[in-house]
Amino acid sequence: MNSTLPHLQHSSTTSYLAGISPGSSKSLMSGICRASVQQIPRGFTLVEIAIAVFIIALLLGSILVPLTTQVEQRQVSETQKMLEDIKEALIGHAVAKGYLPCTDKTSGATTGPNDTPNDGVEDINTVTGVCISSAAGNVPWQTLGLGAADPWGNRFRYRVDTNYSRRSPATPFNVISAAGLVVCSTWAGCPGTSSVRLTPISPDGAVAVIISHGRNGLGAISAQTSALNPTPSTFDETGNYSGGPFVSRTHSPVGSTAGEFDDIVTWLGKYTLFNRMVAAGKLP
C-alpha cells in the first residue's frame, strides 16, 4: 500500500530523507519525523534555559546564604571574644594600678601625650588625677595592649564611671563607691529616659561598658580614618553611640518592629571588679 504522501515516495534505494527506506515496513510519517530530528539541529528552548537558570540560582543561593550567615556568626563570636579580652584587660589594669583607665577621646584638641584624640592612649589630667573626659570614647587599646578594631574595622567604644578611673592625687575607688552606668534591654525603659522603668540588666550598676557597633557600624569611629560613621536611627543603638543609657539585646534586622540592632555589648559590674581585686589582695 502506498503512502498517503505519495509525493515523498521515490524508487531509489537511497532515500533523500535519511531514515526513510523505500518499501520499509516503517511508516513514512515515522521516517519523516526521525529524519527531521536527525537533520535539523535543535537548540534549547527559552523554557528549558529558564528552568536551568532557576535551578542554578537555587543551588547558588543554597550555598551562598549559609556561607554568608556563617561568616557573620563567626564575626559576632570573634567580637564577643574580643570584648571579653578587653574586660579582662580592664580588670588586670585595675588590679595592677588600683584604677581603671580613662577613655581615649574621639574628638577635640591635642594638648599633650595624655590628651590626644584617637591615639589609643587614655586621656588623663595628670595634675588632678581625673580623666580629661567623662563621656564615652574609644577603648584605650594602646594603654591596654590590645587590637584597635572590631572585625568590621571600627573602634570599640568605652565608657568608664570616672569614680573608678580616679588616681592620685584624687581618691581612688573603694568597695563603697557607687557605680553609675546602666545597661538595659531597651532604651525606652532605661532609667533616666522614661517614667516606666524596666529592671536594668546591670541592676547594681556597671563601672565600665564596652561596645562594638556591629556589622552596620552606625555611630562607630572608623579605625582607618578616625572619623565618625553615620549615626544610628534607632533609640537602642543611639544610646550605645551617645554614651548611654546602654542597651544590650537580641539582634533585629532593618524593618523589624523593634528596629535595627546589631550592637554587641558587654560591661564590667562593680562586684565582679571588687571580687577580682579582693582575690588579688588589692581591696579592701
| From 163, 186, 216, 266, residue interacting with Ca ion (rule: CB under 5 A) | 216
CB of 81 to Ca ion, least distance (A): 18
Q: How far is CA 104 from CA 60, 78, 118, 129, 222, in A?
A: 45, 23, 6, 15, 14
Residues 123-142 that bind Ca ion (CB under 5 A): 123
Q: How far is CA 14 from CA 6, 21, 28, in A?
A: 16, 7, 14
Task: Decide if residue 161 touches Ca ion (CB under 5 A).
Answer: no
- Per the DSSP assignment, residues forming a β-bridge with 206 are 181, 269
* 155 vs 270 by CB, closer to Ca ion: 155
CB of 220 to Ca ion, least distance (A): 8
- Here's the x/- map for Ca ion, 57-96, by CB under 5 A: it reads as ----------------------------------------
Applying CB under 5 A, the span of 29-37, 58-66, 104-112, 272-280 interacting with Ca ion comes to: 104-112
CB of 49 to Ca ion, least distance (A): 42
Task: Decide if residue 213 touches Ca ion (CB under 5 A).
Answer: yes
**Residue 132 contacts residue 104 (beta carbons within 8 Å):** no
**Residue 156 contacts residue 139 (beta carbons within 8 Å):** yes
Torsion of CA 35, 38, 42, 47, to 10 degrees: 70
Q: Is 118 exposed, middle or buried (0-12, 13-18, 19+ CB in 10 A)?
A: buried
Q: Total residues contacting Ca ion (rule CB under 5 A)?
A: 12
CB of 121 to Ca ion, least distance (A): 4
Q: How far apart are CA 275 and CA 271, in angstroms?
A: 6
Task: Decide if residue 150 touches Ca ion (CB under 5 A).
Answer: no
Q: How far apart are CA 2 and CA 22, in angstroms?
A: 10
| From 214, 239, 244, 245, residue interacting with Ca ion (rule: CB under 5 A) | 214
CB of 120 to Ca ion, least distance (A): 7
What are 27's three cell numbers? 511508516
* 119 vs 161 by CB, closer to Ca ion: 119
Q: Which residues bind Ca ion (CB under 5 A)?
A: 104, 116, 119, 121, 123, 213-214, 216, 218, 237, 262-263
